[in-house]
Amino acid sequence: MRSSSGETILGVEGARLGYPGAVVLENVDLSVGRGEFWFVIGPNGSGKTTLLRALLGLLDPLDGRVVRDPRFAARTRTGFVPQQCSFSQALPTTVREFVSLGVIGGDRGRSERAQDLAWALDRAKLQGMEGLDYWSLSGGQRQRALIARALVRRPSLLVLDEPTEGMDIGSRAVFLETVDSLHEEEGSTVLFVTHHIEIAARYATHVALVFDGCLMAGRREEMLQPEKLERAFGERGVAFADLSASASSPGDDA
Amino acid sequence: MIESFVDSWGLFGDTYLAGWAVATLLSLIGVWVVARDQIFLGAAVSQASTLGTALAIWLQGVTVIHAFETDAVTFLFAVVASFLTALVSTRPSRPGRESAEAITGWVFLAGSTIPMLLLSSDPHGLEEVHRILFSSILGASRTDVWLFGFLLVFSVVGVAWLRDSIVLYAMDPEMAGAVGLRLPVWRVGMAAWLGVTVGLSIHSAGMIYTFGCLVLPAMAARKICREVRPMFVVAPAIGLGTAALAFLLAHGVDMPPAQMAVAFQCAVLALAWGWSWLRSRVAA
């Protein structure tokens, strides 16, 4: 597993997050270092997506502040994979057009974009499908198109919001291997929101547990402890702890 | 028929040019409306503009402020009403917030009824509202030609420059925000573009022509094209082509040109549906 540089590129300090009249998370402190693979885990409605939106700059904190390394402030090298992209099925688009929209706001030159598109399609295992109608793809292939759209920016920071929801086991494995290889080979920092603790146990260097309006964050081996998981998920957390222990490979060193 | 049409240029040249510019311009903006799948937004924005016009006429009747008694004020009210409707109807959804569909429905109904109630005792005002609803473009002037010509050039340059960002913002605003587009600025900008164009068009070309040109060519382009980006060329081509043919034919058979143009656009959309169905059958 790739080690991180420890250099903070994104963080939240003493933040209160939510919407006017509806505070979702309080006293949030989080520091994401370059090259780290973060998993944000928590029950439904706990505020995972709210945290992500704040980190991406889509939601201003009610209090406190979001800290970004100046090199990431413009978001030219930030890739985002939403849970799903719910535009109208009546709208025609090909895989090529859909993925190439990801370059908007990026810092790559025109001549590099064709190479980046080919590279992103290859990494997402969509090569040869460029000309296909986006809506003719399977659910798993569409999710891979979403990650290709994020990769085409050659991101140093990749943010994924529950991207494996609704995927079958095979598609999920391919998807996760793609993200993991990006982290390992390109040194990208990854922020991955999911319900699946076993995935975090396998790939994470760091974990943030979001529950009851608060956030606990730290290295994977500190966070995936039975008592902490029980606090976050109740009695189910103990079962999750067993699951995470079995999913984590013995040789892994975060 | 063509010779007679050319002969009529001296009298109706400005009307033809303004009508074609409006058709091309609205078809271009319509791609954004159709890409968001907010077809009814076009109707609501058009109807809100009628409400703005009626409100201006009503105020001219009840107030003694002379500054209100100008066409510019009527234009302004129409544009502001369209802009506000577009702005409110494109707000991002949020738990507890009214849906965009519900708001557009409310605006449409309010815009349909209030003008009649406000101007029920004002024959001149009612006539103006009926003219808007009837979509008569015969009164378009040289000023309209310059105005819509300028807006068209401005829009073509804007689309050429920002086309991909417009497509991403329409398809996936969350992603657009995540990669650095300033969503509040974009929302206000797009609402202003739509509001100004529809507000001015309603005043010059009427409700049916404005709503028809806004959504029908873009809907047809959506069925013809395989990607969103070419729709920005195909939709204006359909808008301009149907308007040109309709004006020619309407002049020849002495029928209202605006209605003829919208009827042609409906026919093109029906053909596009057929073409799309045929293409999917062949592909299968």
Which residue has better confidence, A8 or A34? Answer: A34
Best A84, A87, A96, A149 residue to mutate vs chain B (most B CBs within 10 Å)? A87
pLDDT of A245 strictly over 70: no
Let me know whether A70 and A168 are in one domain.
yes
State the total domains in chain A: 2
Q: Which of A101-105, B41-45, B132-136, B229-233 has the lowest mean pLDDT?
A: B132-136
Q: What angle do CA B45, B50, B56 make, to 5 degrees?
A: 125
Strand partners, A191: A38, A159
Please check whether residue A85 lies inside any domain of the structure.
no
CATH number for the domain that contains residue B38: 1.10.3470.10
pLDDT of A5 strictly over 60: no
Q: Give the pLDDT score at A244.
A: 61
Give me the phi and psi of B274, to 5 degrees please.
Answer: -65, -45
Which of B215, B152, B129, B132 lies closest to B18, judged by CA? B152
Q: What percent of chain A has pLDDT over 90?
A: 30
Retrieve residue A232's tokens: 């976050």
Q: Which of A115, A139, A155 corresponds to the end of one domain?
A: A155
Which of A161, A233, A191 lies closest to A66, judged by CA? A191
Whole-number Å distance between alpha carbons of B144 and B22: 9
Q: Give the pLDDT score at B268.
A: 98
Best B93, B172, B179, B181 residue to mutate vs chain A (most A CBs within 10 Å)? B179
Let me know whether A172 and A254 are in one domain.
yes
Let me know whether A8 and A38 are in one domain.
yes
Please check whether residue B219 lies inside any domain of the structure.
no
Q: Give the pLDDT score at A121.
A: 92
Please check whether residue A87 lies inside any domain of the structure.
no
Please check whether residue B45 lies inside any domain of the structure.
yes
CATH number for the domain that contains residue A175: 3.40.50.300
Q: What is the pTM of this model?
A: 0.85
A254: pLDDT confidence band, cut at 50, 70 and 90? very low
Q: Give the pLDDT score at B128.
A: 79
Please check whether residue B112 lies inside any domain of the structure.
yes
Burial track B116-148 (b if 16+ CB lie within 10 A, e otherwise): eebbeebeebbebbebbbebbbeebeeebbebb
Which chain B residues are within 8 Å of A100, Cβ to Cβ?
A: 164
Q: Torsion-angle region of residue A25: left (phi > 0), alpha (psi -120 to 50) or beta? A: beta
Whole-number Å distance between alpha carbons of B148 and B152: 6
**A149 touching B, CB under 8 A?**
yes
Q: Which of B34-48, B123-137, B148-162, B270-284 has the lowest mean pLDDT?
A: B123-137
Let me know whether A163 and A123 are in one domain.
no
Please check whether residue B202 lies inside any domain of the structure.
yes
Nearest CA in chain A to B178: A56
DSSP character for A91?
S
Let me know whether A131 and A56 are in one domain.
no
Which residue has better confidence, B119 or A86? Answer: B119
pLDDT of A231 strictly over 90: no
Let me know whether A163 and A251 are in one domain.
yes
pLDDT of B36 strictly over 60: yes
Retrieve residue A198's tokens: 């076993």
Q: Give the pLDDT score at A251.
A: 43
Burial track B224-256 (b if 16+ CB lie within 10 A, e otherwise): bbebbbebbebbbebbbbbbbebbbbbbeeeeb
Which of A154, A90, A159, A52 lies closest to B171, judged by CA? A90
Please check whether residue B40 lies inside any domain of the structure.
yes
Please check whether residue B259 lies inside any domain of the structure.
no
Measured between CB atoms, which of B167, B178, B229 is closest to A56? B178
Let me know whether A66 and A35 are in one domain.
yes
CB atoms within 10 A of CB A86: 10
CB atoms within 10 A of CB B185: 9
Let me know whether A138 and A166 are in one domain.
no
The alpha-carbon gap from A230 to the nearest alpha carbon of chain B, in Å, equals 29
Best A10, A78, A86, A91 residue to mutate vs chain B (most B CBs within 10 Å)? A91
Mean pLDDT along residues A83-111: 85
Tell me the DSSP string of A23-51.
Answer: EEEEEEEEEEETT-EEEEE--TTSSHHHH
pLDDT of A77 strictly over 50: yes
Let me know whether A253 and A168 are in one domain.
yes
Mean pLDDT along residues B131-147: 80
Maximum mean pLDDT: which of A70-74, A186-190, A212-216, B227-231? B227-231
Domain that holds residue A48: 1-77+159-254
Please check whether residue A84 lies inside any domain of the structure.
no
Q: Give the pLDDT score at A181.
A: 87
Which chain A residues are within 8 Å of B172, Cβ to Cβ?
A: 82, 85, 87, 101
Let me know whether A8 and A69 are in one domain.
yes
Whole-number Å distance between alpha carbons of A171 and A184: 20
pLDDT tens-place string over residues B68-107: 667 788 889 999 999 999 999 888 777 677 888 899 999 9
Name residues whose C-beta falls within 8 Å of residue A51's C-beta, 6 or more positions apart in sequence: A12, A17, A25, A28, A30, A40, A208, A210, A215
Domain that holds residue B159: 16-214
Which residue has better confidence, A242 or B265? Answer: B265
Let me know whether A151 and A62 are in one domain.
no
pLDDT of A242 strictly over 90: no
Burial track A127-151 (b if 16+ CB lie within 10 A, e otherwise): eebbeebbeebeebbbbbbbbbbbb
Whole-number Å distance between alpha carbons of A216 and A190: 18
State the total domains in chain B: 1
pLDDT of A122 strictly over 50: yes
**B35 touching A, CB under 8 A?**
yes
Please check whether residue B228 lies inside any domain of the structure.
no
Q: Give the pLDDT score at A36.
A: 93
**A155 touching B, CB under 8 A?**
no
Longest dimension (CA), chain A: 55
Q: Give the pLDDT score at A39.
A: 94
**A76 touching B, CB under 8 A?**
yes
Q: Give the pLDDT score at B189.
A: 95
Let me know whether A167 and A146 are in one domain.
no
Q: Report, in angstroms and rounded to the nearest whole number, the Rg of chain A calculated over CA atoms.
A: 18
Please check whether residue B267 lies inside any domain of the structure.
no
**A73 touching B, CB under 8 A?**
no
